[in-house]
Every structure is written in C-alpha cells, then in structure tokens.
Structure 1
C-alpha cells in the first residue's frame, strides 16, 4: 500500500488533478464563527464530485445549520443525499443564542446523481454487542411422559447493524487542530464507503486524523491542507503512526482565493 500523502495548497486546485477517489472525506469550515480560518470555501463541492468515482461517495461533516445553508449547493453539484450519522461527543459547545448545549455533529453521505444507489460501494458496519436471547427451558408437563428437555441457547452478544448515533470522545485537550475529529469515528465511515485498498481523498486534511484512520483500515490516502504549519503537523502525525511509514513529501504552497 502506498504511503499517505499530505499536500499543502488549495483543495480546489490541488485535488482537481488527483483521483479518481473511491471516497471523498470533507470536514470544511462551517462559517459559524468570526475566526479567520472559519470561512466558507466556495466551489470545492464541484471539484470533489468531478474527482469521485461513479461507485464512490462523499462524507461531509457539519452542523444542521451548515447543511441547511449549503444543501442546495450539493444538489446543484450533482449529488444526492444517501444517509447521515450523528457523532455524539462527551463534551460540546454552544453559541449565545443556543438553548441546548450542542454535543453532536452530523456526518452526511452523498453520492453522484448519475449513479444508482445499488452501484455505490458500501459495507454494512456492525457491532458485536447484540443482546443475547434469554435461555428458555421448557418444563416437562406430567402428561407428556419422559422426554428430553427442549431449549435453545443463543450466542452471547453477536453482531448487529451499527447505530446511526455513534458515541466517540472528542479530541479536547489533545487535539492538534481546533476542530479535529476522532480517528476511530472517521475509520467507521471509511470502512463503510471505501473498499479495501481503495483511495480516500480528504479535501480539508487538518491534522491528518482521516489519514490515520485510512491507514488503520488499510486504505490509501491523499489529503490537502491549506495551512502550511498544519500540513507539516499532519505529516509528522502520519509519519509517527505505527501503521504507516514515511508520508509523501509533496508540498505545493497554495492560497485560497
């Protein structure tokens, strides 16, 4: 398997010449705050669709406000909504206008409108925590005579389909990037939508958590990060992982328009 690659630059130019990707992963700025880096990036969705294989799909992180605001852009770019999962955090944040503390984010899966859903690569994720059925033992009624006991015993636990609300501790206190996603949670999305040995295209790489998740699941990875310092931190993270060797050294300085 080729080493993961982190590119420094604008995803709208750098990722347009790479791919095609089996899966696109995107955690774009939501545009919710006044922070200098938290601004909406125009035009990246169309680039991602063009770089996506017909059998591929795209997972995008965001709050509900983000998807309501940006929903028309996904449709205009030729994408269809497939499903979504909720990341439940152990802590959260709130704006001054909120009446509930926000402890969740959405990850929404889209696929190309020119592809039938049945043709999109998906692998059902399961957990081995299904509750075992009660052991039932039939008492022998007196009138039946001498018969053996009848009972069944189910396997303890066992697989069940993964729930759409998934709990994972946030990276608070140990995050490299301020909006870093837990690599274990991201790995579930990658295993769901990228075939083994396939390639994940990460349009907003940040600290490289998706690259770490791709390595853990045996997938190839190309990430793009516009901040040179963060891109270097992502390379260091992937280089130090037990699951990967040295990362690619391609670095093209870029700037968002």
Structure 2
C-alpha cells in the first residue's frame, strides 16, 4: 500500500498536481469567528475541482453560514451539490448571539458538474439496527370467511440504510487540533465515497485524523497542512497506526 503523506505548505500550490483524487475531504476555516486562524481560504475550490477524478466527489465540512457564503463559488468552480449529513456531537459550542447550544455540524457532498450522479462512486452504508415491524394488507381478500391479516416481519438487528444524522463523539479532551474531527466519522465518509485502494486528498489536514481513517479503511492518503508544526504531528499520528510499506504517496 502507498505510504500516507502530509505535505507542508499551501494546498492551493501543492495538491492539484498530485491528482486525480477519488475523494476530497475538506475542512477549511469557516470564517465564522474572530479567531486569528479562522479566515476563509480563497481560490481553492476551482483547483480542487480540477484535481478530482470524474467518478470522484468531495465531502465539505462547514456551518450553514459558511455554505451560504461560498454557494456561488462552488457553482462557479464546477461543483454540483449531492446531499448532506449532520454530525451530532455529545457537546458543542456556542456564540454570544446563539439561542441554542451548537451540537452539530454539516457535511455536504459535491461532485463535478460535468459528471452524472449515477457515475459517481458511492457505496451504500448500512447499520445493523433494523427493528421488527408489521405491515398489514391494504386490500380485502376476494373471498369470504375469516382470514388473518397478511403481514411481514423484518428481523430485529437486520441491516438498514444509514441515517443522515450520525452521532459521533468529538475529540474534546484528546484533540491534537482545535477543530479535529473524529476518525470514526471520517471512516464513514471514506468507505462511502472512495473505493478500496483509492486516493483520498485531505486539503486541510490539521492533525491527520483523515489519514488515520484511511489507514484503517485501506485507502491511500495525501494531506496538506500549512502549519509546519501541526503537519509534523499529523505525520507522527498516521505513522503510529500501522507500519508503513511501499513507496511514497504521489
């Protein structure tokens, strides 16, 4: 398997030549706060679109405010919206103007506007928590006499389509990066949208959680982090998951 790598520098300069990517994961600064590091990165979306394989897609983290701010940029860059999921956390954050505690984030999937949705790689994810239910026949039988209602029963614990609201504990108390996403959540996105052995691009790598998830799911990984100290921590984190074999990432 290809060695996961984390490049140090600006993703706009370093990532595009290393495509095409089967999946792009992106958790850029949302620009929602006054924190020094929370500044929107301009111009990366067209470059991401150019580096995406025709059958690939991008999962983009953000708040609704952030998505509204870049909606026109996504269209102009050549991205088409597919679907979104909600990440539910066990605790969250809040701003002075909020009237509800924020315990969720949005993750939206986009694909190339010149591609058909049917051609995009998507592996249906299921959960083993179906519950038994009875569905009664709607039409009366054509004959007379006493007849029990027709029904079918689904098996308890059977598979069902994974729901769009996904609960996953955040990394508070053990996070390496201030906006770190849980590896378990990233694994779901990777399994859904990248074939086994495919190449995942993490344009804002942070602590390398996505690289860890790629190692655990059998996907190749290439990340980019502008903070040199954080990039080194990400490389160490990924290296600790499994021994590396093979050659360096493209």
Judge same fold: TM > 0.5, yes or no: yes
Q: Is the 8 A contact 1:22 1:53 kept in 2?
A: yes
Deviation at 1:4, TM superposition (A): 0.5
Query: What residue ranges of structure 2 are gaps of 5+ in the alignment?
Result: 135-144
Match of 1:204 in 2: 204
TM-score (norm 2): 0.90
Distance 1:244 1:119, change over 3 A: farther
Deviation at 1:153, TM superposition (A): 6.7
Query: What residue ranges of structure 1 are gaps of 5+ in the alignment?
Result: 135-142, 145-149, 251-257
Match of 1:16 in 2: 16
Match of 1:178 in 2: 178
Deviation at 1:16, TM superposition (A): 1.5
- After superposition, residues 95-110 of structure 1 pair within 5 angstroms as 95-110=95-110
> Which deviates further from its counterpart, 153-162 or 189-198?
153-162
Q: C-alpha distance in 1, partners of 2:86/2:133?
A: 28
Deviation digits for residues 229-252 of structure 1 (CA, Å, limit 9, x no counterpart)? 0000001101111x35279889xx
Secondary structure of the structure 2 residue equivalent to 1:189: helix
Match of 1:58 in 2: 58
Deviation digits for residues 64-121 of structure 1 (CA, Å, limit 9, x no counterpart)? 0000111111011000000000000000111101111110000000000000100111
Q: Is the 8 A contact 1:6 1:249 kept in 2?
A: no
Deviation at 1:37, TM superposition (A): 1.4
Stretches of 4+ aligned residues off by more than 6 angstroms:
150-153, 246-250
Match of 1:222 in 2: 222
Match of 2:83 in 1: 83
Deviation digits for residues 36-56 of structure 1 (CA, Å, limit 9, x no counterpart)? 211110011111100000110
Match of 1:113 in 2: 113
Tell me how large the CA RMSD over aligned residues is.
2.1
Q: C-alpha distance in 2, partners of 1:101/1:151?
A: 43
